[in-house]
Amino acid sequence: MSERKNTMFNPAMEAMSRDERTALQSKRLRETVRREYDNVPVYRARMDEIGVKPEDIRGIEDLKHLPFTEKTDLRDYFPYGLFASPLQDIVRIQGSSGTTGKPIVAGYTANDVEVWTEMMARTLSAAGAGKDDIVQVAYGYGLFTGGLGAHQGAGKIGATVIPMSSGNTHRQLLMLRELGTTILCCTPSYALYLGESLREAGVDPKDIKLRAGCFGAEPWTEAMRKRIEELLGIDALDVYGLTEICGPGVAFECMEKHGMHINEDHVIAEILDPVTHEPLPCGQSGELVFTTITKEGMPMLRYRTHDICVLDDTPCACGRTLVRMGRITGRTDDMLVIRGVNVFPSQIESVLVGVQGVAPHYMLVVDRVHSTDTLEVQVEMTDQMFSDTVSHIEQLKQLIRDRIKQVVGITASIKLVAPRSIPRSEGKAKRVIDNRKL
């Protein structure tokens, strides 16, 4: 494991006194609220409706008076309805899967890209990375924020970037060994898979140069951390983010490995009681809600992540004064994260409803095989289809697989089952069996 101390990319911000930070947050919050009210009709209408004017928000203590923003808002006002900057100032669009097959997009001004880049530069610096490092980015590139986020951050710290994107394990390992990669960025499940593959190839972790990894975009556990660290001989650090706020880097772990520091000079985090939606004090578990305070393109006021975690404001030995969030322990909605992709059962349902020969009774079985997430979609056939030829049934499976791939973006295995074989429930239907041990 690494001997190097973690360094701060921006000590003035990362180790700022709490009082100074509160003042900075309050100032930036006032500016953001004004920007939203003046430029985004949806926000203005919402604030007017509850009788809150921008001047009523004097500081972070008034945050609780602001309305919430939901993922469905990004879908409903798709594509540009929540933008607070004119399109000519938008230099980037990134995206993620929405709730009903319609994607959600986020727009960034040049400054927004810069802020996001710095968040990932802080993340990598906390893992001990600098300009002597070779950073292999094995997150997917494209609309998904993982690849580009890590890429930009690695560029910012002056490291050598290898933009591998995801997949092609054989080539990943070849590059990792031959080029002497020192820092790896990918999902934790992929890191585990790479580690196992390396072992199978008979490579001793001592013979590779890898020192640390920044792993995120999906939930993982302490047990997984231990295993990854063992297999690859590295420090494995957690990184959290979401497209709506900017992407990965919203919060990052330091070498203390005791929760992820939230970049509070750019976002304000709240934890809400999942039922009453009242803010909870540090140390209590609830729904994580973010307000961006420096974003220009698409600022978010009290964005409900639906991720459940705890905040910790006790001092951290690394010297950062940024509050830490614990691991994500669950979600308040039915969103699944499969291979880093957000999947809603309703998306699968919308595909099935449009296919002839199947009944709208289905079950999603998620598992983790050889550290890769798998999704099996079990669907009931109609009586008529059930007595049809094998080749027809194969065609039907192919069709469903293709449509799911189009809508959700991941490949599922399809299992057609006999009519009336999926258990019916009397209350809320149970559509998902998640066998991953997380």
243 contact choice in ligand ADP, Zn ion, none (CB below 5 to 8 Å, kind-dependent): ligand ADP
CA atoms within 13 A on the CB side of 116: 32
CA distance 393 to 228: 41
Among 25, 26, 96, 374, binds ligand ADP (CB under 6 A): 96
Quick one: 279 exposed, middle or buried, by C-beta within 10 A (0-12, 13-18, 19+)? middle
Question: Which of positions 314-353 make contact with Zn ion (CB under 5 A)?
Answer: 316, 318, 320
Minimum Å distance from CB 225 to ligand ADP? 11
- Which span (107-115, 144-152, 163-171, 349-357) binds ligand ADP, by CB under 6 A? 144-152
Nearest to 333 by CA among 322, 325, 344: 344
Q: Which is nearer to ligand ADP, 146 or 195 (CB)?
A: 146
Q: Does residue number 312 form part of the binding site for Zn ion (CB under 5 A)? A: no
Q: State the binding partner of 342 from Zn ion, ligand ADP, none, CB within 5 to 8 A by kind.
A: ligand ADP
Determine if 263 is a binding residue for ligand ADP (CB under 6 A).
Answer: no
337: contact with ligand ADP by CB under 6 A: yes
Phi, psi angle pair for 256, to nearest 5°: -70, -20
Buried b (16+ CB within 10 A) or exposed e, 190-226: bbbbbbbbbeeeebeeeebebbbbbbbbbbbeeebbe
Stretch that binds ligand ADP, among 34-42, 160-168, 239-247, 421-429 (CB under 6 A): 239-247
d(CA 282, CA 311): 5
- What element of type H or E holds 108? strand 104-109
Out of ligand ADP, Zn ion, none, which partner does residue 340 contact, by CB within 5 to 8 A per kind? Answer: ligand ADP
Task: Give the interface segment with ligand ADP, choosing from 150-158, 233-241, 357-365, 396-404 (CB under 6 A).
Answer: 233-241
108 near ligand ADP, rule: CB under 6 A:
no
Show the tokens assigned to 346.
Answer: 């309703």
Among Zn ion, ligand ADP, none, partner that 305 touches (CB below 5 to 8 angstroms by kind): ligand ADP
Least distance between Zn ion and beta carbon 17 (Å):
16
Build a one-symbol-per-residue string for 41-80: x at contacts with ligand ADP by CB under 6 A, - elsewhere: ----------------------------------------
> What angle in degrees, to the nearest 10, is found between the helix axes of 390-408 and 345-353?
130
Under rule CB under 6 A, which residues in 193-232 are in contact with ligand ADP?
216-219
With CB under 5 to 8 Å by kind, the binding choice for 249 among Zn ion, ligand ADP, none is none
Interaction with ligand ADP in 275-334: which residues (CB under 6 A)? 305, 307, 328
Residue that is written with structure tokens 């709208």 in the block: 360
145 binds ligand ADP (CB under 6 A): yes
- Runs of H (alpha helix) within 295-367: 345-353
Does residue 77 contact residue 298 with C-beta atoms inside 8 Å? no
Backbone dihedral region for residue 51 (phi beyond 0: left; psi -120 to 50: alpha; all else: beta): left
Task: Give the Cβ contact number of residue 235 at 10 Å.
Answer: 23
Q: Minimum Å distance from CB 74 to ligand ADP?
A: 10
β-partners of residue 164 are none
Q: How far apart are CA 366 and CA 404, in angstroms?
A: 15
Q: Which is nearer to ligand ADP, 128 or 147 (CB)?
A: 147
Position 166 contacts ligand ADP (CB under 6 A): no
Q: How far is the CB of 243 from ligand ADP (least distance, A)?
A: 4
Enter the tokens of residue 375.
């999704």
Which 240-269 residues touch Zn ion, going by CB under 5 A?
Answer: 254, 256
Tokens of 8: 């701060």
- How many binding residues for ligand ADP (CB under 6 A)? 22
Which of Zn ion, ligand ADP, none has residue 256 at its interface (CB below 5 to 8 Å by kind)?
Zn ion
Residue 232's Cα: distance from chain center in Å? 23
Stretch in the footprint of ligand ADP (CB under 6 A) among 76-84, 143-151, 392-400, 424-432? 143-151
Q: Which residues contact 269 (CB under 8 A, 6 or more apart)?
A: 262, 288, 289, 290, 311, 323, 325
107 lies in the binding site for ligand ADP (CB under 6 A) = no
Residue located via tokens 């590779």: 208
Per DSSP, the residues of 59-99 read SGGGGGGSPPB-HHHHHHTTTTTT--S-GGGEEEEEEE--S
Is there a contact between 151 and 163 (Cβ–Cβ < 8 Å)? yes
Which listed option, Zn ion, ligand ADP, none, makes contact with residue 316 (CB within 5 to 8 Å by class)?
Zn ion
Give me the residues that bind ligand ADP (CB under 6 A), please: 96, 144-146, 216-219, 238-243, 247-248, 305, 307, 328, 337, 340, 342
Contacting residues toward Zn ion, per CB under 5 A? 254, 256, 316, 318, 320
